[in-house]
Amino acid sequence: VRKALAINSRTNGGNSLPVALNLNELAVIQLQLSQFTAAEQSAQSGLNILEALHLECTDPNVTRLMDTQARVQQVRGNYERATELYLKLLDTDRRQVGEKHLKYATHLLNYGTVQAAQGKLEEAKQTFKGAIAIMKADPHRPRHPNIIDGLANLGSVLGALGGFDAAGTGVQGAL
């Protein structure tokens, strides 16, 4: 990604769309490597480029970059900021792709993990159920791998709520 970033910066300019897309990929990798400050900075740089290009409402990578920012905030325990970011990016996803799109459902699933981390278990349960329903209804990807995460997260929340039979069903579905 860093090589692509260097090439695209030279070829297209440091504030170009290809650079913003490379920053999105870099931010995701940095997040996976637990390089949270770097991930946050890469995501913000990508968002700054998209905003400068007046693409903050239309480019699909806006919400992907915001998702990275929200996940960093969640890891840091800043659930209020993570919630703000998720509510804003989910609203943008609604306008860009609609509430039945896999991208919206994936971000909804990620938001549910913030709710669960805050102890808002009933809300998280409903959020997970909604995300899973959207994913299962997708005729092109009825067995998307994110459904596994959704079922596992739902099972965990149901277990925390004391619904051990339902939790077992959710976890079994994930398996």
What are the pLDDT digits (tens) for 29-67? 999 999 999 999 999 999 999 999 999 999 999 999 999
Q: Is 111 within 8 Å of 72 (Cβ atoms)?
A: no
Share of the chain above pLDDT 70, in %: 99
pLDDT for position 102: 92
Q: What is the CA radius of gyration of the chain?
A: 17
Residue 13: phi and psi, rounded to 5, are 100, 150
Which of the 8 DSSP states describes residue 55?
Answer: -
pLDDT category at 89 given cuts 50, 70, 90 is very high
Question: Which of 16, 64, 12, 18 has the alpha carbon at shortest distance from 43?
Answer: 64
* Token digits of residue 50: 């998209």
Return d(Cα 174, Cα 149) in angstroms, integer: 7
pLDDT category at 17 given cuts 50, 70, 90 is very high
Q: What is the pLDDT of residues 92-104, one digit of tens each?
A: 999 999 999 999 9
Is the pLDDT assigned to residue 145 strictly greater than 90?
A: no
Q: What average pLDDT does the structure give for the chain?
A: 93
Burial class (CB in 10 A: 0-12, 13-18, 19+), 128: buried
pLDDT category at 163 given cuts 50, 70, 90 is confident
Type of residue numbered 76 = R
